[in-house]
């Protein structure tokens, strides 16, 4: 469900689960294996890319049902812990929709290259859920109020708006997207390898050192509390049954 290409210091992972690159547990485990291979080598740049229709429309909703939710959440989170441990630069090339888990994967990368066709969104709240990685990481990337609004609204953001907020590094022409993205990556090619990795390592230590702990806390809230609420399960059922959810949780009712 993924393709791997290696060329010099560049390790590229192409999401290849058409048409929407839904991130199921099997695909996430393939990504994990690829990231472990990356970490065992001497690479400077990790690139995530996909086809034009969608970067990824998110994680598999069926695997958020009670039988598999714990495995899904932990498997998904492990991908980001592996990404976090990489001392090179991570790049997402987004030439389509990046939604839900696909949005988390794209915006977690150090560099986001997007075409005008790209769009980003965390619609989990509309299913009565929340995105654990976004909750743990996005306040470090967004202005905090914008991060909360993005997660709580479930609204989709255009590439232009994401660029305005500083979440996208470069807007590229869709017609020449691959060629322009490759040119952008060449900026990192001739730098000192030791300085490059030490700079990234220092940046993580100064600004993102608490990500693993925050992710664990977000996952625990999701699995121990949210996944057991009536509304969390109603949202999943409504999505799979293609109907409007009927929320049961009373407004103002406390959730322990």
38 domain residue, yes or no: yes
What does pLDDT average to over the chain? 95
154 domain residue, yes or no: yes
The DSSP code sequence of 121-139 is: E-GGGGGT---HHHHHHHH
The DSSP code sequence of 19-55 is: TTT-B-HHHHHHHHHHHHHHHHS--SEEEEE--SSEE
Checking if the pLDDT of 250 tops 80, the result is no
The model's pTM: 0.95
225 domain residue, yes or no: no
Cβ neighbours for 44, distance < 8 A, ≥ 6 positions apart: 9, 10, 88, 89, 188, 193, 196, 197
Checking if the pLDDT of 3 tops 80, the result is yes
Checking if the pLDDT of 254 tops 70, the result is no
Which residue out of 63, 124, 180, 219 is catalytically annotated? 124
Give the DSSP letter of residue 143: -
Predicted confidence (pLDDT) per residue in 77-117, tens digit: 999 999 999 999 999 999 999 999 999 999 999 999 999 99
pLDDT confidence tier of residue 201, bands split at 50, 70 and 90? very high
Give the DSSP letter of residue 156: E
In the residue annotation, 124 being an active-site residue is answered as: yes
Predicted confidence (pLDDT) per residue in 21-65, tens digit: 999 999 999 999 999 999 999 999 999 999 878 999 999 999 999
In the residue annotation, 219 being an active-site residue is answered as: no
Task: Report phi then psi at 251, rounded to 5.
Answer: -60, 130
HSE toward the beta carbon, residue 83, CA cutoff 13 A: 29
pLDDT at 256: 56
Q: What would the mean pLDDT of 157-186 be, rounded to a whole number?
A: 95
Report percent pLDDT > 90 for the chain: 94
HSE toward the beta carbon, residue 42, CA cutoff 13 A: 3
Paired tokens of 201: 């390592």
Which residue out of 7, 63, 78, 104 is catalytically annotated? 104
pLDDT at 244: 96
Give the containing element (helix H, strand E) for 92: strand 89-94
Closest CA to 104 of 112, 20, 206, 173: 112
26 domain residue, yes or no: yes
Paired tokens of 167: 């979440």
236 domain residue, yes or no: no
Paired tokens of 9: 């210091």
Domain carrying residue 84: 2-188
pLDDT at 251: 61
The Cα–Cα gap between 64 and 67 comes to 8
142 domain residue, yes or no: yes
119 domain residue, yes or no: yes
pLDDT at 51: 80
The Cα–Cα gap between 194 and 27 comes to 32
pLDDT at 253: 58
Checking if the pLDDT of 252 tops 60, the result is no
Q: What would the mean pLDDT of 155-159 be, rounded to a whole number?
A: 98
Number of domains in the chain: 1
Checking if the pLDDT of 134 tops 90, the result is yes
210 domain residue, yes or no: no
- Domain containing residue 164: CATH number: 3.90.226.10
Q: What would the mean pLDDT of 184-192 be, rounded to a whole number?
A: 90
């Amino acid at each position: 469900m993924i393709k791997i290409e290696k060329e010099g210091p560049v390790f590229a992972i192409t999401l290849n689960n058409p048409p929407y690159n839904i991130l199921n547990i099997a695909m996430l485990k393939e990504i994990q294996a690829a990231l472990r291979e990356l970490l065992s080598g001497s690479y400077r740049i990790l690139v995530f890319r996909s086809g034009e229709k969608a970067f990824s429309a998110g994680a598999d909703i069926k695997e958020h049902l009670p039988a598999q939710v714990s495995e899904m959440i932990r498997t998904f989170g492990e991908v980001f812990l592996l990404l976090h441990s990489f001392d090179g630069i991570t790049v997402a090339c987004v030439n389509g929709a990046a939604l839900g888990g696909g949005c988390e994967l794209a915006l977690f990368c150090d560099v986001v290259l997007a075409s005008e066709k790209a769009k980003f969104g965390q619609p989990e709240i509309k299913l009565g859920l929340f995105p654990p990685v976004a909750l743990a990481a996005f306040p470090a990337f967004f202005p905090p109020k914008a991060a909360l609004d993005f997660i709580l609204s479930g609204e989709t953001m255009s590439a232009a708006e994401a660029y305005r907020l500083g979440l996208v590094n470069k807007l590229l022409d869709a017609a020449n997207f691959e060629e322009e993205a490759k040119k952008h990556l060449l900026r990192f090619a001739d730098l000192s390898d030791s300085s490059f990795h030490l700079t990234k390592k220092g940046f993580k230590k100064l600004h993102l050192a608490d990500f693993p702990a925050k992710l664990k806390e977000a996952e625990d809230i999701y699995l121990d509390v949210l996944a057991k609420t009536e509304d969390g399960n109603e949202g999943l059922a409504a999505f799979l049954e293609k109907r409007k959810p009927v929320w049961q949780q009373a407004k103002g009712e406390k959730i322990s």
